[in-house]
Amino acid sequence: MADLPNTTEDLTPDTFVRGLWRENPVFVMLLGMCPVLAVTNSTVNAIAMGLATTFVLVCSSLLVSLLRHWIPKQVRIASYIVIIATFVTIVDYGIQAISLELYAALGAFIQLIVVNCVILGRAEAYASKQRLHTTLVNSLGMGFGFTLALLALGTVREILGSGSILGMPLFGESFQPWVVMILPPGGFFVLGTWLLLFNWLRLRRERRVLEQAGVAANAG
């Protein structure tokens, strides 16, 4: 390590914030699509899934960062998977202890956090190279970014598909829920709409930056 250039990051607000927005794992990096589409049919499920993933992400990133000089690179992926699987098992028992109904609603997707590429991606691309405190802040940012994205989908799908939010009815008796929204296709519809919005905002910002720099914006 000593003869490599120093690539450790200094702690800045951006360490946290970029996970929320510029490098949002769902809306920008399009990682972890399986839980994003599968368990966001209600707000409660989205929050629970987001927090469970954040817990696993933060804990495994911290441990990977702590052990980064100790894990030979030939066995790093195996080590990361074991570390991640450990924390997933802990979350699995934790959710059963909190609420068995929630556990039943989330189904197999708790165990499937093991293969969530956001987490392995963070371990490989960030935690294994960075110091403990920046890893903590960065993985918290990524986790909250993931939770926010799940919430964005879950809230919209619950309002349209069940006419309620957090289980509380929003509309009167006459409201006919748009059932397709809480079925799998609804996940794709809502995700597509959010991606459209995110990309439109990003393009608009880029165009404004170009205009300010005095370059004529390309209409295409």
Partner 1 sequence: MSVQVDTPARSERTPAWPMLRTLAGIATLSGLLVVLVYQVTKPIIAENERILTEQAVFEVLPEATSKADFILTEQGLVRAGEGASGVTVYAGYKADGRLRGVAFPGAARGYQDLIQFLFGYDPACECIVGSKVLRSTETPGLGDKIDSDPAFLRNFEALDARLNAQGTGLAKPIELVKHGTKSEPWEIDGISGATISGKAVARALNDAAQRVLPAIRQDLAILSDGAP
> Which chain residues interact with partner 1 by CB under 8 A?
41, 67, 70-75, 78-79, 82-83, 85-86, 89-90, 93-94, 96-97, 99-101, 104, 107, 161-162, 177, 179, 182-183
Q: Of 106 and 152, which has the nearer Cβ to partner 1?
A: 106
Q: Which residues contact 154 (CB under 8 A, 6 or more apart)?
A: 40, 41, 42, 43, 44, 45, 46, 47
Is the CA virtual torsion 58, 61, 64, 65 positive or negative?
negative
Q: Of 185 and 199, which has the nearer Cβ to partner 1?
A: 185
Q: Smallest gap, in angstroms, from Cβ of residue 192 to partner 1?
A: 20
Q: Smallest gap, in angstroms, from Cβ of residue 171 to partner 1?
A: 15
**Number of neighbouring beta carbons within 10 Å of residue 5:** 4
Q: Smallest gap, in angstroms, from Cβ of residue 1 to partner 1?
A: 11
DSSP 163: S
Q: Which residues contact 87 (CB under 8 A, 6 or more apart)?
A: 55, 56, 59, 60
Q: Of 59 and 142, which has the nearer Cβ to partner 1?
A: 59
- CA 166 to each of CA 43, 78, 169, 170, 203: distance values in angstroms, whole numbers, following the listed order: 6, 39, 8, 10, 33
Q: Smallest gap, in angstroms, from Cβ of residue 179 to partner 1?
A: 3
Q: Of 31 and 64, which has the nearer Cβ to partner 1?
A: 64
Separation CA 196–CA 152 (nearest Å): 14
Q: Smallest gap, in angstroms, from Cβ of residue 204 to partner 1?
A: 36
Q: Of 178 and 198, which has the nearer Cβ to partner 1?
A: 178
Whether the CB-CB separation of 143 and 110 falls below 8 Å is answered with no
Whether the CB-CB separation of 25 and 19 falls below 8 Å is answered with yes
